Amino acid sequence: MLSKVLSAAVLGIDAYIVTVETHLEGQLPAIATVGLPDGAVRESRERINAAVKNSGFPFPQKRITINLAPADVKKEGSGFDLPMAIGILAAAETVQPQLLEHYLILGELSLDGSLQPIRGALPIALAVREQKKRGLILPCENAKEAAMAEGMDVRGADTLRETVEFLNGTAELPSFAVDMREVFSVSRHYTIDLNDVRGQEHVKRAMEVAAAGGHNLIMIGPPGSGKTMLAKRFPTILPDLTLDEALETTKIHSVAGALPPDSALVATRPFRAPHHTASYAGLIGGGQIPRPGEVSLAHNGVLFLDEVPEFEKNVLEVLRQPMEDGKVTIARALLSLTYPAEFMLVAAMNPCPCGYATDPANKCSCTPLQVQKYLAKISGPLLDRIDIHIEVPAVKYKELAGEATGETSAQIRQRVETARGVQLARFRDRQKLFCNARMESKDIREFCKIDSRGEELLRMAITKLGLSARAYDRILKVARTIADLEGSNDIRPEFIGEAIQYRSLDRSLGATA
């Protein structure tokens, strides 16, 4: 006796259809699973046996062979428990086969027959829709997420018995449908605001410039100056996610198992802040079957590295490629996967090992050599990809005790979105160029032309202030963004002057060299 049940698996951030074929024959009772199953799939034999019996169904006392096709792709995870159990019951003629070719089935089984949530419900639902199948049966906890793929008949089940009764036509499963645009608009709000931060108006201005041009940002200041608080509020001034960006971001979080249980869609810009002890694989992604790392979870959002000199140097260096390409490729012996990683980097650091070099209220105990070694932990190639360096001084008591008078995130975000609109119009004929930070040398020569006064100001900055040569292009790109914020087609000298102020780390490195 043979049965076929449709299921699915995730590879990267996309899904593919898996056919669960089950064959029963009259030999000694045994279960064999083939088709490159991993440990979790092989262990499902014991879960399925207990779940079927505890759900009140007879478990066939025969030799059971289960094939997961295509057989040349490794299958992982516990999401095959439910389709394998249904396949066994269908081969034993306990489940009617009529609906099996129209619905894909996924779910992890508990020993009592109840269903546990799985990873990757959204990419699987999108794959089912592309295959023009009628619908999807999966745990209720995943149903709302899967229903984001509009036009699908998504059924949520709590137990194996409910699933069997639905397939046999003796009971109904609840159907889930959501208005994706309504969910998107309702969920698109932040619980924090840049107005929560007292003082630091010049830092907020630098953050606005960074957000408007897509520039990476590093903040240098003593402990307690508010660097982390400012960084957490940086996503609130970025342009709102589009619906397509939200779906792509949700797919990554769903595959990684990072989607909150009560959330069906990531509607706000992600903010990821890995600890400085994070490994190479934790940051970039990895595993035998590669999982997305922090750079991919920060896709379309912000990756915040606090105390950046404390990160291992080799861990920091692997950021260079995704920062440049907007994606990360993880190669293994059997396969190679590419995950999107279009994030903005926000880093924070102290000005010296003790942290008090720029704090007038505390005395610094570091020698010049210690400061030089500390600053040198950030390599030139990595620093080359950070356009804006801003000093964050300690906040004065008067500012802390005063009333909040700064602009809200919504007010700043409106100006940022206007500036981004100007850039999109400017680069409409340039493929994959959507903000000033992405400009290459040829683009800078075309779109960042300056007059003789601007040239003289730049020359003075390079020669007299000790700025590095690599700062030249960064200053021009940031000045272009400042001009866009001010609604100016020309890059005026005052814009260049402001951009020069955002290269404080270059001056520090030049002073210690």
pLDDT tens-place string over residues 4-31:
999 999 988 899 999 999 999 987 889 9
pLDDT at 189 over 90: no
Determine which of 296-310, 397-411, 468-482 has the lowest per-residue pLDDT on average. 397-411
**pLDDT value, residue 468:** 67
Residue 400 has pLDDT above 60, yes or no: no
pLDDT band for 96, please (50, 70, 90 cuts). very high
Helical ranges in 301-354 per DSSP H: 313-317, 320-325
Percentage of residues in the chain having pLDDT higher than 70: 96
Predicted pLDDT at 513: 41
User: Three-class SS of residue 351?
Assistant: coil
285 within 8 A of 328, measured Cβ to Cβ: yes
**Residues 444, 436: Cα–Cα separation, whole Å:** 9
Contact 132, 149 (CB under 8 A): no
Mean pLDDT of 397-414: 76
The residue-averaged pLDDT of 181-194 equals 85
Q: Is the pLDDT of residue 36 over 50?
A: yes
Query: pLDDT per residue over 170-186, tens digit each?
Result: 999 999 988 878 888 87
pLDDT score recorded for residue 464: 77
pLDDT of 491 higher than 90: yes
Report the amino acid identity of residue 241: L
Q: Are 167 and 95 in contact (CB under 8 A)?
A: yes
Residue 483: pLDDT over 90: yes
Mean pLDDT over 269-286 rounds to 92
**Number of Cβ within a 10 Å radius of residue 94:** 17
Q: Give the integer Cα–Cα distance in Å for 51 and 86.
A: 11
Q: Do 455 and 365 touch, CB atoms closer than 8 A? A: no
pLDDT, average across residues 477-489: 95
Backbone φ and ψ for 18, nearest 5 degrees, come out as -120, 130
Residue 398 reports pLDDT greater than 80? no
The pLDDT of residue 510 is: 47
Q: What is the per-residue pLDDT across 317-335, written as a single tens digit (0 to 9) for each?
A: 999 889 988 999 988 777 7
CATH class label, 2-178: alpha beta
Radius of gyration for the alpha carbons in the chain, expressed in angstroms and rounded: 28
**What spatial distance separates the first Cα and last Cα of the chain, rounded to whole Å?**
78
Please check the confidence at residue 262 and state whether its pLDDT lies above 80.
Answer: no
Amino acid letter, 84: M
Give me the sheet containing 103-105, strands edge to edge.
30-34, 63-69, 14-25, 2-11, 103-105, 135-139, 153-157, 175-176
Q: What is the pLDDT of residue 139?
A: 96
Q: What is the pLDDT of residues 43-55, one digit of tens each?
A: 899 999 999 999 9
Which class is 189-427 in CATH? Answer: alpha beta
Integer CA distances (angstroms), 430 to 49, 125, 249, 442, in order: 58, 33, 24, 12
Does residue 101 sit in helix, strand or coil?
coil
423 pLDDT higher than 90: yes
Domain boundaries, the chain: 2-178, 189-427
Binned at pLDDT 50, 70 and 90, residue 511 comes out as: very low
Does this model's pTM top 0.75? My answer is yes
Length reported for the chain: 513
Q: Cis before residue 97, ω within 30 degrees of 0?
A: no
The pLDDT, as a whole number, for residue 401 is 56
Residue (of 233, 207, 201, 236) closest to 219 by Cα position? 207
Question: Exposed, middle or buried by CB within 10 Å (0-12, 13-18, 19+), for 331?
Answer: exposed
Q: Is the pLDDT of residue 395 over 70?
A: yes
CA dihedral 207, 305, 435, 341 (to 10 degrees): -150
265: CB partners within 8 A, 6+ apart: 145, 148, 180, 183, 184, 187, 246, 247, 250
Which range among 89-98, 234-243, 259-268, 420-429 shows the weakest confidence by mean pLDDT? 259-268
| Confidence band for 512, pLDDT divided at 50, 70 and 90 | very low
More confident residue, 35 or 188: 35
Q: What H or E segment, with its residue span, contains residue 129?
A: helix 121-130
Count of Cβ atoms closer than 10 Å to residue 376 Cβ: 14
pLDDT at 259 over 90: no
Q: Residue 74: which residues within 8 A CB-CB, separation 6 or more? A: 36, 37, 38, 289, 334, 335
Mean of the pLDDT values across residues 118-135?
A: 91
Mean pLDDT of 461-484: 85
Q: What is the pLDDT, as a whole number, of residue 492?
A: 94
- The mean pLDDT of the chain is 90
The structure tokens listed for 299 are 């896709």
Question: Which helix or strand (DSSP H or E) is residue 304 part of?
Answer: strand 302-305
Q: What is the pLDDT of residue 161?
A: 97
**Same-fold call for 2-178 versus 189-427:** no
